[in-house]
């Protein structure tokens, strides 16, 4: 759906296949329904969208998120005392691992992974700390017809306890774990996912959580998964975002991977994260 409001937005595409910045919007002023729809249209078109200079207090940030979908709690880390559905994405100067510092889609190990994730930057290191995003649409569309057909028959198992990602949660689980933090979760999802709103198909595996194809052993799965993991993050499928305090990112977890770069040791980085409820992948 395209509206007159969409056409009035200052939308600046960031790369060839994914990502756009939206300028000229003040999210501290309660957005109209038309503006929310326009923002949603751009988000569906580009996979991930960004706003600059939006110093939203937690309550305003959550209210904006609630206009886009149903806010849900993250399973492993406790939220803010007054806003339990907002978690801190934090790395302290003495820590070596950054939260979620590996290519992934959020919580793919759930039976109904989130529709979307929002981040707002609070404290940013003097340099570094960018986030990369990759298009599952572009990755799928670049595969050969034969491999597309083969993958469309497969499901993959996704586990919360895969070593690549658990180490990125260690510091936050150590100081703010929930009761679920030590309970491995596993979700089985189609390798090729059809987006419920756009109808487009995307490659839906990720290095952080995907362990094997259902009905295959891990040894049998590894060569093909390794190919797909490398393929889905080719530079031409990605964009890169440099944060500033007050920057906001909103990405579509159903067709976008992301990877926060861990290149700012010795500095603090703090963002606030909100997760929006999703559906069962098909």
Please give the span between the terminal C-alpha atoms of the chain, in angstroms, as a whole number. 22
Between CA 138 and CA 260 the distance in angstroms is: 20
User: What does the pLDDT profile of the chain (282 residues) look like in tens digits?
Assistant: 334 444 479 999 999 999 999 999 999 999 999 999 999 999 999 999 999 999 999 999 999 999 999 999 988 889 999 999 999 999 999 999 998 899 999 999 999 999 999 999 999 999 999 999 999 999 999 999 999 999 999 999 999 988 756 555 555 455 555 565 567 899 999 999 999 999 999 999 999 999 999 999 999 999 999 999 999 999 999 999 999 999 999 999 999 999 999 999 999 999 999 999 999 999
Between CA 102 and CA 206 the distance in angstroms is: 9
Query: Pairing mode, if any, of strands 155-159 and 20-23?
Result: unpaired
Cβ atoms of 169 and 77 within 8 Å: the answer is yes
The pTM of the full predicted model, rounded to 2 decimals, is: 0.92
Catalytic one of 169, 193, 201, 258:
258
Tell me whether residue 122 is one of the annotated catalytic residues.
no
Tell me whether residue 106 is one of the annotated catalytic residues.
yes
Closest C-alpha to 249, from 102, 131, 120:
120
Catalytic one of 40, 104, 172, 195:
104
Say what the pLDDT of residue 75 is. 82
Catalytic one of 193, 195, 209, 273:
273
Residues counted in the chain = 282
Domains, the chain, in order of start with CATH, read: 4-276 (3.60.130.10)
Say what the pLDDT of residue 4 is. 42
């Amino acid at each position: 759906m395209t509206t007159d409001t969409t056409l009035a937005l200052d939308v600046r595409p960031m790369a060839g296949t994914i990502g756009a910045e939206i300028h000229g919007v003040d999210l501290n002023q309660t957005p109209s329904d038309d503006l929310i729809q326009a923002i949603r249209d751009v988000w569906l078109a580009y996979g991930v969208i960004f706003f600059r200079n939006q110093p939203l207090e937690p309550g305003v940030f959550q209210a904006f998120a609630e206009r886009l979908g149903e806010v849900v709690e993250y399973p492993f880390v406790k939220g803010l005392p007054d806003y339990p559905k907002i978690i801190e994405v934090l790395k302290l100067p003495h820590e070596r691992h950054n939260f979620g510092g590996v290519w992934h889609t959020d919580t793919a190990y759930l039976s109904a992974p989130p529709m979307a994730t929002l981040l707002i930057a609070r404290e940013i290191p003097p340099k570094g700390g960018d986030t990369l995003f990759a298009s599952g649409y572009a990755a799928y569309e670049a595969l050969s017809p034969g491999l597309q057909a083969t993958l469309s028959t497969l499901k993959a198992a996704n586990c919360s306890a895969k070593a690549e990602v658990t180490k990125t949660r260690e510091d936050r689980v150590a100081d703010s774990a929930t009761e679920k933090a030590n309970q491995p979760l596993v979700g089985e999802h189609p390798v090729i996912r059809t987006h419920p709103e756009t109808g487009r198909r995307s490659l839906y595996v990720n290095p952080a959580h995907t362990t094997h194809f259902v009905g295959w052993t891990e040894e049998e799965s590894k060569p093909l998964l390794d190919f797909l993991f490398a393929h889905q993050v080719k530079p031409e499928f990605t964009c890169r975002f440099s944060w500033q305090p007050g920057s906001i990112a909103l990405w579509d977890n159903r067709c976008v991977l992301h990877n926060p770069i861990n290149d700012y040791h010795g500095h603090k980085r703090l963002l606030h994260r909100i997760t929006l409820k999703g559906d069962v992948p098909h």
